[in-house]
A = this chain, B = another copy of it.
Amino acid sequence: MTDRRPRALLRWPTYLMGNLHRSGVARIDEALAGSGLALRDYYVLVCVGEFGPLAQQRVADRLGLDRSDLVKVLDRLEAAGRVRRERDTEDRRRHVLTLTEAGRAAVAQVDEVSAAVTGELLSELSLDEQETLHRLLLKAFGEPPA
């Protein structure tokens, strides 16, 4: 029984984005169940992969996470052999993170799932509209248009 939502809430982009986000994450997590991968893991893997060997604090900065929360994610990822975590020989406070081959494979897997889910999630929109939505979201986010 999926009743209609209050119209007074549908006025707010924040509300709409929250619900769409939640729906997308749920679908991705469902597709990823069993692989031992969470969506956050993917974010971290992508970040380490894109910006080369990185200290944990730098990953947290780039993703807008707290460094203390990153620890558990990295524990999982390291145990699964998806990242290497080694002391930085130049600054022994830091751990240097590097992506492994398994990590790269995980990224590719989530990329595929995410593309499929995005298509579902925005299936009510034409391809042009999807493109427009993405462009506006990027701009609102403060990123230069791709």
Interface size class of A (residues with CB under 8 A): 35 or more
Q: Is A83 an interface residue (CB 8 A)?
A: no
- Nearest B-chain residue to A1, judged by Cβ: B61
Flag if B139 contacts A129 (CB, 8 Å). yes
Bound-state CA distance A1–B16 (Å) is 30
Pull 7 A–B residue pairs with CB atoms less than 8 Å apart, ordered by A: A2-B61, A4-B62, A6-B51, A8-B46, A8-B111, A20-B141, A129-B136
Residues on A close to B: CB < 8 A?
Answer: 1-10, 12-21, 24-25, 28, 43, 46-47, 49-51, 58, 61-64, 107, 111, 114, 117-118, 121-122, 124-125, 129-130, 132-134, 136-143, 146
